[in-house]
Structure 1
Amino acid sequence: MIASVASRDPGPLAQVQTTHNTDIVIASLAGDDKPCVSHLQRWMTSGDTAILRVNSAGILAKLPGAEKAAEVTRVLAHDEEVRHLYMTAVTARTCGDDWTTAGSIARDPAAYPHRARYLAQRFATEALNPRDAGARWCSSVMLRELSPLIGWSPG
């Protein structure tokens, strides 16, 4: 995977969304390689597919430094497809939901008032994740969306 990034081949990163742990490994290998980081930055903002953009963002989000975190959060704020994929992945990983359910929660957390407290607890923990700027941003957004539901209890 890292060889494809180094050789400017986005193909493998455009096939399927990578996992959190895969992103951590790739980031640890690519982080000191300026050309690799440059390719990932370009793909994150102008990649041909949402999968390529979200994978690039996911890897860059695991690199240290406020500059990379700011770049990732700008993409998450402005690229709806990337935001939904990233939020779905964070929701699935942190809340233990299957991909379909996680996608539904990411799309409309207000539709899950019966789970609001549980979801908020999970996202509050993830909002402090020191290894993933994207997960911190997504968790903060989800907490904002869930905040009106906290304390809600079914009749």
Structure 2
Amino acid sequence: MSVGPLIQELRLGLHLSQTDLAHHLATVSGRKTITRETVSKWENEKVTPGPFWRRHLATVLQVPLSSLEAELVKRRTFLVDAVALGIAPLAPAQDKADITEIFASVSGGDAELLGAVQTTYRTDLHLSGLAVRDRPTIYRLVKWMHDGATPVLRVNAAGIIAKSRDLELSDMAAAAMLRDVEVRRLYLSAVAARVGTRTEALIGELSNPRDAGARWCAAVMLQRKSDEAARAALLRALRTEPVRETIRTIGLAIQGEDPCT
């Protein structure tokens, strides 16, 4: 059993509602900011309780702190093992070590590594394939994409989400680039550095099935080309693009309008 369901089971065993648990935690911790919503996020594993709250959870739920800590360690070990298995056939040893370290950090709620330097296309592909297997990690990445402390953290989160092949998540990533100037600048720069800015290369990215973010960026850059080959490619992409926000962007690009204004 992972830590979220364990908290829920212990709470129900004491006949406490989520509101009751929040109230008891506020009393023992002296922090009145704890709410039922926070307890719900813990139980649904959208957020992992930090060391401060784990100590007080153990007190209120009448279990040894080691019980809660053990579940967190088991979950982290499981995720790290999943990373190693998932990337073993696909990446060199050093890449595997880096991806494992980053994913373990993200799954534990630590944004430091993901916010340190902009990740590569290949790293994002691996991280995305692993993140979609773990719902709490996806929730965390979406949150960081929207309100991460630095542009690098936000664009890295967007890059991982955009490669998930999930239409709803891909739409969120495209919308984030439209809304966040710094994320857009960094993502556009990364695509340009990876494939170049020639019309032919950008047309190829319009049909990249592994990166919805790259497709969005390609549409934006092709709009700036203003040539017939670019317009014809955008018209073709309009018939096949599955992501709603990118369809809107392509439509504006075909009309000669800057999607980012």
The alignment covers a number of residue pairs equal to: 129
Deviation of 1:91 (Å): 0.3
Provide structure 2 residue ranges, at least 5 long, that are not aligned to the other structure: 1-101, 231-261
Indicate the percent of aligned positions where both proteins have the same amino acid.
43
Higher relative contact order (CA 8 A, sep 6+): 1
Q: Which structure 1 residue ranges, 4+ long, deviate > 4 Å from structure 2? A: 148-151
- Alpha-carbon distance in 1 for matches of 2:131, 2:156: 13
Q: Does 1:46 align with 2:147?
A: yes
- Alpha-carbon distance in 1 for matches of 2:225, 2:206: 14
Provide structure 1 residue ranges, at least 5 long, that are not aligned to the other structure: 96-117
Which of structures 1 and 2 has the bigger CA Rg? 2
- Alpha-carbon distance in 2 for matches of 1:92, 1:149: 24
- Alpha-carbon distance in 1 for matches of 2:207, 2:117: 27
Q: In the alignment, which residue of structure 1 is the partner of 2:207?
A: 128
- Alpha-carbon distance in 2 for matches of 1:150, 1:29: 37
- Alpha-carbon distance in 2 for matches of 1:50, 1:91: 18
Match of residue 31, structure 1, among 132, 141, 156: 132
Q: Does 1:12 align with 2:140?
A: no
- Residues 104-133 of structure 1, C-alpha deviation per residue, up to 9 Å, x if partnerless? xxxxxxxxxxxxxx6111111011100000
Matches within 5 A, 1:2-151: 2-95=103-196, 119-148=198-227
Deviation of 1:149 (Å): 9.0
Q: What SS class does the counterpart of residue 226 from structure 2 fall into?
A: helix
RMSD (Å), alpha carbons = 1.6
Deviation of 1:28 (Å): 1.1
Aligned residue identity for 1:140: A
Moved more, 57-66 or 142-151: 142-151
**TM-score after normalising by structure 2:** 0.48
- Alpha-carbon distance in 1 for matches of 2:190, 2:104: 25
- Alpha-carbon distance in 2 for matches of 1:149, 1:75: 29
